[in-house]
Structure 1
Amino acid sequence: MRDWLRRRVVARSAVAALTVGLALLAAMAVVSSRSTARAADIAAGTQQTSQQWNEIYLKISMEYELLEDYLDSPETGDRQPLLSSIGSAEPNLRWLLANGGTDDTRQVMALQNAYGGYTYTLRNLIDAAATEDRENTLKYARQAALSASGLRRQASVNVARNNLAIAVVLRDAKDANARQLIAVEVLSLADLLLVIFCGLVLLAYQKRTERQAADNDYRASHDGLTGLANRRLLGERVSRAIADADRAGPGVGLLLLDLNRFKEVNDTLGHHSGDLLLVEVARRLSAGSRASDLVARLGGDEFAILLTGVEGIIDARTVAQRVLAELCGPADVGGLSVDISGSIGYSHYPSLSASAEELLQHADVAMYHAKRNRLGIAAYEPENDNNSFEQLTLLTDLRFAIDRGELELHYQPKVRPADRSVAGMEALVRWRHPTRGLLGPQAFVPEAEQSDLMLSLTEAVLDMALRQQAEWREDGRHIPVAVNIGAACLRDPGFPARVEGLLRQYDAVPGHLTMEITESFLITDPESAAAALTHLRDRGVRVSIDDFGVGYSSMSYLQSMPLDELKIDRKFTAEILTTERGRAIVTAIVDLAHALDLTVVAEGIEDEKTLTVVGEMGCEHAQGYYMCRPIHPDGIPKWIDSWTSVPVPT
């Protein structure tokens, strides 16, 4: 800021000085012009006055010469020229009186009297000569000669005086012009230096402007955090690459990448650590891509890589595999080790996509398919594209579906491995869509979680589950139920009170309602989670951690949170019979849960042997397709009777 202010002051000072210098130079030119004009006027006026004095001198001389001619030949009797010349200098004297300077006026007044006497003498001489009065003629001749000589001398002196005045005026004008010339040269040199300086300043300003324009253009086309290309530049390059491919050459590929569980890192470790992680991801993506590829950050934790010169979809997959391999792995973020992983979707022009818009859209569809199904990488396939009109109107339809009662619950039982008794039911929502048929939760719950509908959806499920539980209770079946709760519900301060109202409405038995929550919410917002769960637990609601072990597991929340149950994810249960590592992990989780006085539920039970083993390992409850797939509530009584009638294996 200080340098910018200094440069601005210097530039403005230089411009101001140049303006003043040019103004002074212009003023000097005006002054010099006026001074020269004034000197010329004075010189011209003095020259004219000198000319008048010179004419007076000549006319007096002519009068005397005509007199001498007349005296030399008086017998001719031709005295007319002499008479005509007498008083010829009078007009000049009158002009000098009217137009001459002070000295000229004084000299004219003195000369006028003498000239009058001279002309008088001439006339008397002519009269004496005419009467042949020789004595008077000689006397007047002597007087005329003396007068003419004096008059000529006075006229000559005034001519010399005026010529001298002209010389002085010209000399002063020359001196003034010389001084002004020096001043003009100095000012011109100063202005030249200022012009050069201002030119340098202008050139520097132009260069700074060009650099600023280039910097602004770079900022407009690149991500400020990672330095990668942004969405705008990616769009331009995609269009250009497709145009090049249309003219001649191979196709274009596009990889779209989204980090896994980045929000948890950002919320847990802070935005600064999240930024460090994004910078590291950008470095890894650049290292894993080819030199000709364009790596871009589209926003948040979403990145893209434009692949030029890609012959087919197989080549795009090869690059995607290499990029994912380079990306995945632990990273040091602010002194903490954080595991980086992501999901990549890829598409290809022209084999899969027909335009730049489709290339971007298809890569996005493939990326979300890879993320939902934990595939790592996935190519675009039309059957995975749910971006239809029905999908766009899904949330609006869901909002009305809740009000119209189109939702229904199916239940998956939980049993006790020890005696095969029924421990409870997990309520799983379904949507009987009027045109699309029965939809599973994967078709609409993820979209609801990203909107304001999750709270309404969860409360509708709670209402249906507690109503169904009350109906079973009336039939003499006291069956605990479990309901999955979204993070948005626990962030709502009024949610616990509304749950309490539903418990009173259906006269629920304390301990017969379990709320299952994911561990990621406990990590990202522990304070809100602890407050909401404590309130619910005080009202007789049990709290269960669903899919334990697949997120950023933390031992601290197991100690600090009001928990009752821990559900082991099916990923670990599936390995207890096949790997020692899987069995060791489940054993460790069970021991940890029991140490904290938590009930353990093993998910993903697919056969009798697995059910037996988890019971032997200490899991109080088990859940899976081996016992029962999710079924309509009308089929629950029949299933219970069927399940409990089977003898426990010995």
Structure 2
Amino acid sequence: MNSGKLNKLQTFLIATDKHRTWFVLFTIFILPSMYILVYLTDGTKNVYAHLTYIIIVFAGATLGFFGGLITGLAAGIMLGPFMPLDVANQIPQTFLNWSFRMLMFTFLGGLIGYITDTLRKSARIVLDLMCHNSETGLPNVNLLNNPDALSYDERNQMLITLLINNFDKIIDLMGLEVYYSLLRRIYEILRDGLPETALIVQCNNNKFWMATPLERPEEDIKKITAILKEGITIENVEYYIEFSLGYTFALNQNQSYRPGAFEKSDHAARYAQKNNLQYMLYRDDIKRGIFEAKLLADFTRALAGDELFLAYQPKVHLKTDKYDYLEALIRWDHPERGLLMPNDFIPLIEETQLIHELTEWVLRRVIEKIRELRKENYDVTISLNISVKNILDKNVVRRLAEIIDNNRDVVNNIEFEIMETILMETIDDTLETIEMYRNLGVAFAIDDFGKGYSSLLYLHRLPVECVKIDRGFTRNLTHDEASQKILQMVIRLCHALNYRVVIEGVEDETTAAIAKNLESDYAQGFYFARPIECGKILDWLKNKNRETSA
């Protein structure tokens, strides 16, 4: 996530915390100055007393409820019984005059302060959601861009990547909840074993990043290895993890806690994983070997053959209970490695030109499926994920535009989904291309909104028709009223900007009911339907149609 965008939210919080003392001193200085100004301009009969409202609003906005309240009261007293109505003739103000003004000053300061405190509290909740993994509650990579949440160490750093190699087996055997508990326990073990100033964040389901003071690197790596080799007990069951460590050094501390700094340790960890090593120090030759040339060669073959296929996950319209939107999800039936999910190969493919061929492949099959469903009287819109590389490459843009232009009869049933973080990082470079696609009739949706930037300041700039709320917003909906209020605010804002809203990750009836009550347009998740194989989606829609009609 780009630190500049996350800092938009942090600035609102930091400005009133870090500089509070200066705001107090400024207010203490300016109030007597205002008293002198009003007195020298012949009292409250003239207009200058109204400038005090600016001071009161400033105090409420920077010092909160009590700061605004006290400032309003102090201003009311200064311009009240101690300030003549007419200084030249020494005519005092009436009691009603100055007491009413003092009441209004106090009320205004308290009101502005209360609004500010409420906004700051909501901002902290949103920031906390952004900086913690939605499933495990552990710190995530967004924490790297939140300086207030980090304990900095001025020494040089060793940057470490931990990969859990057998995470899929643990999930298959024990389920996600046990695996999430295992991740939390690993975090606790690392936290206890590393210095207090060490940084530990969970990057994804099988990766941690660590930054620890650079003192005895080889000894520290062996210590971490020894800790992780020990069995981890959860609910009286002992688990052993297979892992790989990659590490490198950051000699400029100011750069240590940025996501890009961990690229080398990531490469080293993948190299260790590929070569069955426990740990590996980054070398310049590792990056070239990390892309797994065999898998790339296999993918080229898969594109030409029948190993790739699409599954479709329905989205339900919460008001009508109709399933008129589907999301196309890629699957790879690898002859040796079995069924591969997108996370298993898409990140690798995106580093090559193969991502362009894959996007074109998916688009053509989505068009075929739209026509197939139309023949059965199902007017369904299908969304597909598009890489930012597809948008930035002019040749690819031209090829995809030609495909769309040659299929004008279905273009209004195609929707491109692009990740929020990717879009915001490249928005200035991609706006023109996105508008071109939209002019052809293709709709755009921003995917995983809230996972990366969640920047309401940038929401109005998004050239999209739909906003998909990330599952991180739905995690606490059933038992956290604050999360519901935040999500309701986001939904209302999206509707005010004429965006269609889809809530992802709906996995139970209670969450579905809350999503409907919050007036989300659509919902998507395992509660309604898991991804359905291409050949079975028509029968599934027919069955749902009969259920709705019954």
What range is the shorter-chain TM-score in? Answer: 0.5 to 0.7
Q: Given the alignment of the two structures, is residue 530 of structure 1 paired with residue 431 of structure 2, yes or no?
A: yes
1:362 to 244, 247, 250: 244
How far is 1:452 from its partner? Answer: 2.7
- The correspondence of residues 379-390 of structure 1 with structure 2, limited to 5 A, is 385=273
Tell me the matched-pair count: 331
* Amino acid in structure 1 at the alignment position of 2:436: H
How many angstroms does 1:637 deviate by? Answer: 1.6
Amino acid corresponding to residue 362 of structure 1 in structure 2: S
Residue of structure 2 equivalent to 1:440:
341
1:621 Cα offset (Å)? 0.9
Is 1:469 equivalent to 2:370 in the alignment?
yes
Matches within 5 A, 1:267-278: none
Structure 1 equivalent of residue 210 of structure 2: 344
Structure-1 residue corresponding to 2:497: 596
Q: What one-letter code is carried by the residue in structure 2 that aligns with 1:485?
A: I
Compare relative contact order (CA 8 Å, sep 6+) and give the higher one, 1 or 2.
2
The aligned residue for residue 304 of structure 2 is 403
The answer to whether the Cα contact below 8 Å between 1:285 and 1:327 also exists between their aligned partners in 2 is no
1:565 aligns with 2:431: no
Residue number among 147, 152, 157 corresponding to 1:295 in the alignment: 157
- Contact (CA 8 Å) 2:506, 2:524: kept in 1 or not? yes
Which residue number corresponds to residue 549 of structure 1? 450
In 2, Cα distance between equivalents of 1:471 and 1:607 = 31
**Cα pair distance change 1:617/1:453, threshold 3 Å:** same
CA contact (8 A) 1:424 1:480 kept: yes
Q: CA deviation at 1:454?
A: 2.0
2:428, 2:408 → 1: CA distance? 30
2:318 to 414, 417, 436: 417
Moved more, 612-621 or 638-647: 638-647
Aligned partner of 1:427: which letter?
A: A
CA distance in 2, matches of 1:321, 1:497: 53
Q: Which has the larger radius of gyration?
A: 1
Q: Does 1:318 align with 2:186?
A: no
Give the Cα separation in 2 of the matches to 1:467 and 1:512: 11
Which residue pairs with 1:489 in the alignment? 390
Distance 2:450 2:499 in 1: 15
The 5 Å alignment of 1:88-103 reads: none
Aligned partner (choices 129, 136, 141) of residue 260 of structure 1: 141
| Alignment partner, residue 32 of structure 2 | none
Alpha-carbon distance change, 416 to 281 in structure 1, aligned in 2, over 3 angstroms: closer
The alpha carbon displacement at 1:627 in A equals 1.1
Contact 2:473–2:487 under 8 Å retained in 1: yes
Question: Is contact 1:480–1:513 with CA below 8 Å preserved after alignment?
Answer: yes
2:367/2:410 contact within 8 Å kept: no
Q: Distance in 2 between matches of 1:479 and 1:412?
A: 12
**More helix by percentage:** 1
Structure 1 residues 609, 508: CA separation in 2 closer, same or farther (over 3 Å shift)?
farther
- Offset at 1:324? 4.8
Counterpart residue identity of residue 260, structure 1: V
Shift of 1:460: 1.6
Please state how far the C-alpha of 1:646 moved relative to its aligned partner.
2.9
Q: How does 1:98-247 map to 2 (within 5 A)?
A: none
Measure, in 1, the Cα distance between the counterparts of 2:487 and 2:319: 17
Report the 3-state secondary structure (helix = DSSP H, G, I; strand = E; otherwise coil) of the residue aligned with 2:152: helix
Question: Match for 2:244: what amino acid?
Answer: H
- Tell whether 2:389 aligns with 1:515: no
1:427 lines up with 2:301 in the alignment? no
Deviation digits for residues 494-529 of structure 1 (CA, Å, limit 9, x no counterpart) = 333322222244444242111111111222112222
TM-score normalised according to structure 2 size: 0.53
Instruction: Name the amino acid aligned to 1:487.
Output: V
Task: Provide closer, same or farther for how the CA distance between residues 597 and 322 of structure 1 changes in structure 2, counting only shifts above 3 A.
Answer: same
Cα distance, 1:592 vs structure 2: 0.9
Q: Contact 2:470–2:505 (CA<8 Å) still a contact in 1?
A: yes
CA distance 1:434–1:327, shift in 2 (3 Å): closer
Tell me, in whole angstroms, the C-alpha distance in 1 between the residues paired with 2:412 and 2:459: 20
For residue 556 of structure 1, report the CA deviation from its aligned partner. Answer: 4.3
* Residues 415, 421 of structure 1: 8 Å contact kept: yes
What SS does the aligned partner of 1:636 have?
helix
Is the 1:547–1:569 Cα contact (8 Å) retained in structure 2? yes
Is residue 415–residue 423 contact of structure 1 (8 Å, CA) maintained in 2? yes
Among 107, 131, 152, which residue is 1:284 paired with? Answer: 152
3-state SS of paired residue (1:577): coil
Deviations 1:533-561 (A, max 9, x none): 10110011111011101112333432223
- Residue 27 of structure 2 corresponds to none
The letter of the residue matching 2:246 is: D
State the Cα deviation string for residues 343-379 of structure 1 (Å, max 9, x = none). 339953674899xxxxxx92239xxxxx9xxxxxx9x
Amino acid aligned to 1:628: A
Q: Deviations over 1:602-639 (max 9, x none)?
A: 11111233223212211111111011101111111221
Contact 2:200 2:210 (C-alpha < 8 Å) held by counterparts: no
Percent identity, aligned pairs only, is 27
Query: What secondary structure is seen at the aligned counterpart in 2 of 1:393?
Result: helix
Corresponding letter in the other structure for 2:210: I
Q: Do the aligned residues in 2 keep the contact of 1:522 with 1:557 (CA within 8 Å)?
A: no
Note if contact 1:564-1:598 (Cα within 8 Å) is conserved in structure 2: yes
The alpha-carbon distance between structure 1 residues 399 and 472, as it changes in their structure 2 partners (threshold 3 A), is same
493 and 283 in structure 1: CA distance in 2 versus 1, 3 angstrom threshold: same
CA RMSD across the alignment: 4.2
Using the TM superposition, give the Cα deviation of residue 444 of structure 1 relative to its aligned residue in structure 2, in angstroms: 0.2
TM-fit CA distance, 1:569: 0.7
- 1:82-137 superposed Cα distances (whole Å, 9 cap, x missing partner): xxxxxxxxxxxxxxxxxxxxxxxxxxxxxxxxxxxxxxxxxxxxxxxxxxxxxxxx
Contact 1:564 1:599 in 2 (8 A): yes
CA distance 1:282–1:546, shift in 2 (3 Å) = closer
